[in-house]
Amino acid sequence: MASSSTVTCGVYRKQNVIETQKQRQKCHDEIKQVRNRINEHLDNLEQRILQDLYAAEKKVKSQIEDLLGKLAENAENINSMENNISAIKDYATDLQTFLGSKMIEIEIKKYEIFMQSLFDDESLRKMDINCKIEDKLTDVMSNVTSLGTISIELSSPLEVMQIGKATQAQTMSLEHVSSKTIDEITMTLQSKFDFFYTTGCSISSTGYMVLIEFGYRRLLILKEDGTLKSRIPLSTLNPVDCACVDDKTVAVTFAASKQLQIINV
């Protein structure tokens, strides 16, 4: 009897090892998927900020080139004025000098207005490109220390095996009695219990009784005096019979699924 229970537990534990291997692979795949999604998201963020970076550089370069063009144009006007001033000094009459100086004053005024406009619109201010990394990203690197947690969960100690492959669940040891004929046996009613659609019954070596209550899909555990000790619900449909394996476990058979389950009581 102990050998049969040991074999059953061994088979169940081997199945448990195979299941944990599948669970480990599933968790591994989920971790890789999360990592890939994070990498893809970070790649997209990188591309967007790089586009902003190159756009900022292009804008600065365009504004500087535009300013340099304006300065070059005004520099030509200043050179022309300097040449005109030199010519007036050397060759012009007093009238020509007077008229020429008025024209130069006008040009100088235009130049002053131009330079003032550069100060007003901040065109002459130095332009720098700065990059500030999002604080939330640095928070992730410092605060997020794990992608998740791995835990081991314990389920109810339920062992399932096919009836066709199962060995005999129980061998009851009976006290030796002297042989009697059928006419010599007298039956006496000791106790009577009323339950709903009971299909199986077994008595343990310690005296408690196990009943299969088919209608409610559960085990009833009765004390020696017939009072109810506990109810154990069953997860599989159509329980039909039971047998006490030992003082702590009961074998239950199921008609529809053709299974035998070892239940801890």
Q: What is the pLDDT of residue 250?
A: 93
- For the chain, the average pLDDT equals 78
In a domain? residue 51: yes
pLDDT category at 47 given cuts 50, 70, 90 is very high
DSSP string, 176-194: ------GGG----------
163 pLDDT tier (thresholds 50, 70, 90): very low
In the predicted model, is pLDDT for residue 149 greater than 70? yes
| 6, part of any domain | no
Amino acid identity, position 153: E
pLDDT of 9 reads 67
37 shares its domain with 132: yes
The reply to whether 44 and 75 lie within a common domain is: yes
Range(s) of the domain holding residue 23: 15-143
> Does 169 have pLDDT greater than 50?
no
Q: Is the pLDDT of residue 46 over 50?
A: yes
For residue 61, being part of any structural domain is answered with yes
- The C-alpha atoms of residue 76 and residue 193 are separated, in whole angstroms, by 120
| 192 and 105 within one domain | no
One domain, residues 19 and 130: yes
- What is the per-residue pLDDT across 6-42, written as a single tens digit (0 to 9) for each? 556 677 778 888 888 998 999 999 999 988 998 999 8
What CATH number is given to the structural domain containing 203? 2.40.10
Whether this model's pTM surpasses 0.95: no
Taking the C-alpha atoms of residue 242 and residue 263, their distance in angstroms, rounded to an integer, is 10
Structure tokens at 55: 């756009």
Mean pLDDT of 132-140: 82
Over residues 199-219, the pLDDT tens digits come to 889 988 888 899 998 888 899
Tell me the sheet residues that pair with 263: 250
Q: How many domains does the chain have?
A: 2
Predicted pLDDT at 206: 87
CA dist 259 and 164 (Å) reads 8
Considering 97, 119, 143, which residue would you say is the last residue of a domain?
143
Distance (Å) of CA 32 to CA 4, 37, 41, 241: 43, 9, 14, 48
Q: Which of 143, 175, 206 corresponds to the end of one domain? A: 143
- Does 132 map to a domain? yes
Residue finishing a domain among 143, 172, 199: 143
